[in-house]
Structure 1
C-alpha cells in the first residue's frame, strides 16, 4: 500500500527523528490570507515601510503564522492519529521569516507515556528552519495518539521528559535582530503605551470578538496545510451538535490578533512558555480574549526594548469584561478555551 494511514502510538520510539515533507515558501499572498483569517493588525507585520524604518528589510511574517506552518508540516508524520494536542512548552521564536523564504521542519520523539486505554501520550520537539539551516522556531508539545487496539504495548520504554516552565528572560535577547526602535512610530503602531506603561498584575480586556464560521475553519485547515482527520469534519458528540471542530492553531492565532487592542506595540512574540487548548471550539463560536501582565524584564544589552510576560486567555461566546477564568474549585469556566503564557517584546 503506497498511501499512509499515519502512525499509531505503538509505532513511536523515543529518539525517532522525522524530516517532514513539503517545505513551504511563505509568500505575500499567505500574509494577506492570514490577515483575512485572523484580523491581525500589528503594524510591524503589516507594513513594509514601517518595518524598514526600524531595520527590517521588509515586514516579517507573523510569529503565529510561522508556528502554524511548522506545526502543520509535522502532522502527516506524527499527528494523523492524534486525538488532541494537550499542551506546548518552551517554544522559542528564533529568527524572523520574510516573504519569499522557505520553511522546513524536523520533529524528534522525546517521550512516551502509556495511559492504559485506547490512547497514549507522545511527547515531541519540532524545529523549523529557513534557508541555510537557520532555526526560526522550536517547541515541545504532547498529544494523545490512538493505538491500533486497546492494551497494545509501546515498543519503547516509558519516558516523560523534563519540560521548562518558561523560557528564561535572559535568553530572549540572544537571537534578536538589531533594530532601531527609536524610529518606532506610536501613531502608526496604534498605541502610545510602551513597556514602562504596563504594571504587574494589570488586566487588559481586548474588547473585540471574532466569529469563526465553517468557511474560515475549512480554509484555515487547508491554508496552514494541516491534514489532521478531524479538520474540518462535523462532530456528532453532544458538545458539537454537528458543528465542525476548529483547528487549535487558528484559535491561537485569533487570540494573538485580538490582543492588538491593548498590546499593539508588541514588536515580536519571543516565546510561548506554555500553552494549552482548554476546551474545543466549534464553528459558530465567537472568540474573545483578555491578558494579564505577569512579568516584566529588561533585556541585557538593550536600552530600547523590554520583555512583558503575558498570560493570554481566550473565551468562547463570552465577552472578557469580567475576565472569566476559573471557578472556586480551580477548574476552568466553561467559556475558557485557550490559555497561553507568552513573552512579548515591547519598545521602552
Structure 2
C-alpha cells in the first residue's frame, strides 16, 4: 500500500463533504517581519504595538492577509494540489484578530461541483473556516478552483453551483473588539485622508510598481505551506513556467495601495475576487483602487469603505481592465473587491 498521496482530483469530491485540513500552524512574531520583508506593507496598525494600543487594541495583530495566507495554505493539499487555477473568492469575512502565538487550523466544506465541457477537469467550490487554538473562527471565505480529473472517463458528479452573495452586507462586517479610531494619529499613519475624503466612484492610482522575482515567490509559497504543483513544479504547465502564487499578488497589491489608502487599516470582508491572468517572475505589479461604497459602523470613529483593488502589469499610469469584447485585458492580474475599516 502506497504511503504517499497524489492529492484529491475532481472526481474525489462530493457536495456536503467536510475536510479537516492537516498541520495546524502556530504563528510567531517573526512572521510579521517576514511578511513585511516580502511586501512593502506599511499600515500602522500592523506595524506598531503603540499605535495599535492607542487604537484600543492590546497590541499589534498580525496582518489580515498573513492570517488569510496561513489558512489558505492549510487547504491546498486537499483542495488545490491538482488545481489548474484558483478562480475566485466570495463571502469572505475576518471575524477576529490573529495574534502572535495563535495556532491556526482550517476546515472546508464542499458546496459546489461542476465538470468542465472538456471532461478533463471541473470546478470545485468550498467554504473554508480558519480556527484558532480555542476553536474560535478567525476568518471564513468561499473559493473555487479548477481541478484536474484523475480519469477523464470517470462519470461527472451532479452539477451543483452555489448561490453566492455578490457583496458582504455592511451590517455583517465584524469590527475587532475594542477597536477605536476616535484618537487616531494621522501623522503617524502616514496620510491625512479619512472616510469623508473618499467619494464613491473615485479611482486612485497607487503609482508604485514592484517587479516579482522567483526567489520571493518561492519563499512565500513555502512560508504559507502552499504546495500547489503549479507554484513549485515548472514541468506541470505547458509553458514551462511556475505560476506566481495568487496570494502573493494580492498581498503585493494591498501593500502598494498604502499610497493613497494608508488609513484603510483593517480588511474585514472579501466580497469577490478573480485572478484574471497568470503572473510570472519578471512581471512588474502595479495597482489602482476604485471606491465602490461607504458605510458607517457602530464603533467609535470608524467607517467602512468598499474598494475594488486591481493589480496589473501594464505601463506606469495605465489603468487597464477589460478589452473591447468585455474580457479582462491581458495586463490584468487581479480584480479584488473588499471592505476595509478607516477613521471617520
Whether 1:306 and 2:303 are equivalent positions in the alignment is yes
Q: Which residue of 2 aligns with 1:104?
A: 105
Q: Secondary structure at the match of 1:290?
A: strand
- Alignment of 1:346 with 2:329, yes or no, is no
Cα deviation, residue 12, structure 1: 0.5
Task: Report the Cα distance in structure 2 between the residues aligned to 1:30 and 1:132, rounded to whole angstroms.
Answer: 21
Give the number of aligned pairs. 342
1:23 and 2:21 aligned: no
Cα displacement (A) at 1:314: 0.3
CA contact (8 A) 1:232 1:244 kept: yes
CA distance in structure 2 between the aligned counterparts of 1:60 and 1:318, rounded to whole angstroms: 35
- Counterpart of 2:277 in structure 1 is 279
Aligned residue among 283, 286, 289 for 2:287: 289
* Structure 2 residues not aligned, in runs of 5+: none
What is the Cα deviation at residue 324 of structure 1?
A: 1.5
Q: Deviations over 1:129-187 (max 9, x none)?
A: 11211111100011111111223114x432111111010011114x5322231221111
Q: State the shift of 1:302 in Å.
A: 3.1
Aligned equivalent of 1:36:
37
Distance of aligned partners of 1:120 and 1:237 in 2 relative to their CA distance in 1, 3 Å threshold: closer
* Structure 1 residue 132 corresponds to structure 2 residue 134: yes
Q: Any idea what the Cα deviations from partners look like across 1:233-264, whole Å, max 9, x if unmatched?
A: 336868x5x54320011011111111111101
Question: Deviation of residue 204 (structure 1)?
Answer: 0.4
1:120 equivalent in structure 2: 122
Q: 2:313 aligns with which of 309, 316, 326?
A: 316
1:43-74 per-position Cα deviation (integer Å, ceiling 9, x unaligned): 10011111111121121111111111101101
Partner Cα separation in structure 2 for residue 267 and residue 39 of structure 1:
14
TM-score w.r.t. the length of structure 1 is 0.95
Name the CA distance, whole Å, in 1 between partners of 2:192 and 2:299: 20
- Per the alignment, residue 151 of structure 2 pairs with 149
CA distance in 2, matches of 1:206, 1:310: 13
SS of alignment partner, residue 151 of structure 1:
coil
Q: In 2, are the aligned partners of 1:73 and 1:226 still within 8 Å (CA)?
A: yes
- Give the match for residue 78 of structure 2: 77
**1:45 and 2:46 matched:** yes
Cα distance in 2 for partners of 1:191, 1:35 equals 19
Alpha-carbon distance between aligned partners in 2 of 1:165 and 1:108, rounded to the nearest angstrom? 20
CA 1:228–1:131 in 2, change beyond 3 Å: closer, same or farther? same
- Indicate if the aligned counterparts of 2:179 and 2:299 stay in contact, CA closer than 8 A: no
Shift of 1:303: 4.7
Q: What is the rounded CA distance, in whole Å, between the counterparts of 2:343 and 2:332 in structure 1?
A: 30
Q: Is the 8 A contact 2:294 2:306 kept in 1?
A: yes
- In structure 2, the partner of 1:208 is 208
Paired position in structure 2 for 1:230: 230
Separation (CA, whole Å) in 2 of partners of 1:172 and 1:286? 33
Write out per-residue CA displacement over residues 186-230 of structure 1, whole angstroms, 9 at most, x where no aligned residue: 111111000000011111010111111111111111011101111
How far is 1:17 from its partner?
0.6
Pick closer, same or farther for the CA change 1:303–1:182 going to 2, 3 Å.
closer
Is the 2:43–2:189 Cα contact (8 Å) retained in structure 1?
yes
What is the CA–CA distance in structure 2 between the aligned matches of 1:237 and 1:268, rounded to whole Å? 36
Aligned to 2:87: 86
Secondary structure in 1 matching 2:305: strand
Task: Give the equivalent residue in structure 2 for 1:158.
Answer: 159
The answer (yes or no) to whether the contact 1:111–1:161 under 8 Å persists in 2 is yes
1:183: which partner in 2? 183
- Which stretches of structure 1, 4 residues or more, deviate above 6 A after TM superposition? none
| Distance of 1:317 and 1:284 partners within structure 2 | 13
